[in-house]
Amino acid sequence: MFAQLTKRLLAGVSPLVLVLAACLSGAPVAATAQTSAAPAAATASTATTAAAAAADGTPGEPVAAATAASATAAAVAAAPAGASHADSPYGVVSLWNQSDLVAKAVLAILVLMSMSSWYVIVVKLAEQSRMRRQARAVDGSFWEAGSVSAGAAQLAEGSPFRFVAESALNATKKHDGLRGQVDFADFVDLNMHRATERVNRRLSNGMSLLATVGSTSPFVGLFGTVWGIYHALTAIGAAGQASIDKVAGPVGEALIMTAIGLAVAVPAVLGYNWLLRRNVGVMDSVREFSGELHSLILSSSAKR
């Protein structure tokens, strides 16, 4: 009698234990998967029937208990198996697939503007870092040399400091003929000023692109939003359905254009301000070098 009661108890508790273990282990409950709901329900029904048969003391109780346990486990495993989420009808991918040529052109322009702005930011940052290293190298190599020409030869090729030094040396060699009528100090200062301004212009390359992207990309995105809302409302009017599910999707997708425009503009504006501030620091080093070199050349020419 005790053995029979034990078998009935195990037959009724085993399905509950398996379900509880599956829940604690993080098994997903796919309540939205209609394709797998029917097989899971049928399997669960089979498990319940087998458990009831085992509880009634019918012959083959061990077999019924095993059948109930395996059927319950199959029901729990079958639910997440068919619970594949359907592709979302909303988002950027859906916007691209459903948009016309104008909307796709707006998206392509925003992507191109974003790529170009990030390219300028990375390239200018690397250029400024290189010029800062060259400015530190001036103190350890140029001013320790025996002459201006020797010091300029020790500077790296393409260095703005070497360019300024070579411009000053060329000015001292060209001070003849009609140029000789100009004061020597003014002539050298004029050439060094030109060289310094050329360095400044080279540093400013690409900054106008960042300013343009930062100021225009929100409006490009806004144009895409207006265009998308117009076509969405036109399609809704033609369909004759103005329910919230018909309006929210197309209008929300159109608003993505504005978000993309802002995402393009913000890095461009921040990068522009950051690089502009770093340009000021680099040019201060170049102008300080130019002023000291100008004084050195004048003092050397006065000793001759």
Secondary structure in 3-state letters for the chain: CHHHHHHHHHHHHHHHHHHHHHHHCCCCCCCCCHHHHHHHHHHHHHHHHHHHHHHCCCCCHHHHHHHHHHHHHHHHHHHHHCCCCCCCCCCHHHHHHHCCHHHHHHHHHHHHHHHHHHHHHHHHHHHHHHHHHHHHHHHHHCCCCCCHHHHHHHCCCCCHHHHHHHHHHHHHHCCCHHHHHCCHHHHHHHHHHHHHHHHHHHHHCCHHHHHHHHHHHHHHHHHHHHHHHHHHHHHHHHHCCCCHHHHHHHHHHHHHHHHHHHHHHHHHHHHHHHHHHHHHHHHHHHHHHHHHHHHHHHHHHHHC
> Alpha-carbon distance 162 to 151, whole Å?
9
Instruction: Give the model confidence (pLDDT) of 228-287 as tens digits.
Output: 888 778 777 777 766 676 666 667 777 888 999 999 999 999 999 999 999 999 999 999
Position 275 scores a pLDDT of 94
Instruction: Give the model confidence (pLDDT) of 87-109 as tens digits.
Output: 555 566 766 776 678 888 888 99
> Which pTM does this prediction carry?
0.64
Instruction: Give the model confidence (pLDDT) of 112-170 as tens digits.
Output: 999 999 999 999 999 999 999 988 888 877 887 778 888 888 888 888 998 998 888 88
Phi first, then psi, for residue 91 (nearest 5°) are 120, -175
Instruction: Give the model confidence (pLDDT) of 172-190 as tens digits.
Output: 888 777 777 788 888 888 8
Report the percent of the chain where pLDDT is more than 90: 25
Contact indicator for 104, 96 with CB cutoff of 8 Å: yes
Position 129 scores a pLDDT of 92
Position 32 scores a pLDDT of 37
Mean pLDDT computed over 192-213: 92
Secondary structure in 3-state letters for 115-169: HHHHHHHHHHHHHHHHHHHHHHHHHHHCCCCCCHHHHHHHCCCCCHHHHHHHHHH
Q: Is the pLDDT of residue 12 over 60?
A: no
Position 148 scores a pLDDT of 82
Position 30 scores a pLDDT of 37
Q: In the chain, where are the structural domains located?
A: 2-81, 92-303
